[in-house]
Amino acid sequence: EAGVAQSPRYKIIEKRQSVAFWCNPISGHATLYWYQQILGQGPKLLIQFQNNGVVDDSQLPKDRFSAERLKGVDSTLKIQPAKLEDSAVYLCASSSDRAQPQHFGDGTRLSIL
Amino acid sequence: GENVEQHPSTLSVQEGDSAVIKCTYSDSASNYFPWYKQELGKRPQLIIDIRSNVGEKKDQRIAVTLNKTAKHFSLHITETQPEDSAVYFCAASIDFGNEKLTFGTGTRLTIIP
């Protein structure tokens, strides 16, 4: 089966600019996750969707980060405005349902200048 | 919330020897423990997972053990090969509760030929 697709792979922006990431989960997977992975650390969950509803966004910095999953398939994660500390790899993962193994995409490496 | 600690942060072993990575978790309600392997610049890949109704699980050269009383779990890799070199992350979550994965800080495993 095709894996989780993410784009772009790399993005370089200046602080205070905005950026958006896209994720297409494995076909049929109802649950979608966005993680932030800072260099040298493990991934940290930002937001979890079940179909097109939010299950957990407790660690999402809502003053600058937003995410949506219209129609319960693709998802976008946006940062506006970006800060230097947002430099990280943003990983999308999906699972067929809650309590099923999560499969990750290759991520988007974001660099803030 | 859940806190996962992982040791060691770096590990070097001779090819053919065994490697052991250990993790402890804080939330006694956690009942799902996956291990991910992440090669440089690539996506985390699930290599093995265990649920709390099982004490040990094995898949060829990889095994995971779980001690719920002590709240720790370990990854064992036997007969190590150069392609085992990567960063390994443990994680914990609660099925049908809070499925978000809380990751450890990672172990950089280097296999010395």
Look at phi and psi of residue B99 and say left if phi exceeds 0, alpha if psi is from -120 to 50, else beta. alpha
Average pLDDT of chain A is: 93
Residue B110: name the closest of B6, B11, B7, B8 by CA: B11
- A-chain CB neighbours of B45 within 8 Å are 104
A101 and B CB contact within 8 Å: yes
Measured CA distances, B26 to B72, B82, B93, B95 (Å) = 9, 33, 11, 16
Q: Exposed, middle or buried, B95 (CB in 10 Å: 0-12/13-18/19+)?
A: middle
Q: Is A43 on the interface with B (CB under 8 A)?
A: yes
The reported pLDDT for the residue numbered B60 is 96
pLDDT averaged over every residue in chain B: 93
Percent share of chain B, pLDDT over 70: 96
pLDDT band for position B62 (50/70/90)?
Answer: very high
User: What is the per-residue pLDDT for B97?
Assistant: 53
Q: Each residue of B93-113: pLDDT tens digit? A: 886 655 778 999 999 999 999
Closest alpha carbon within chain A to B30: A99
Q: What's the pLDDT at B98?
A: 53
Element (H, E) at A20: strand A19-24
**Tokens at residue A113, please?**
């200048």
What integer pLDDT is reported at residue B96 of this predicted model?
Answer: 60
A102/B34 CB distance under 8 A: yes
Query: Which of B42, B52, B100 to mutate against chain A (most A CBs within 10 Å)?
Result: B100
pLDDT digits (tens, 9 = 90+) for B19-33: 999 999 999 989 999
**For A83-107, what is each residue's pLDDT tens digit?**
999 999 999 999 987 777 889 999 9
- Structure-token pair, residue A51: 């179909």
Amino acid at A88: A
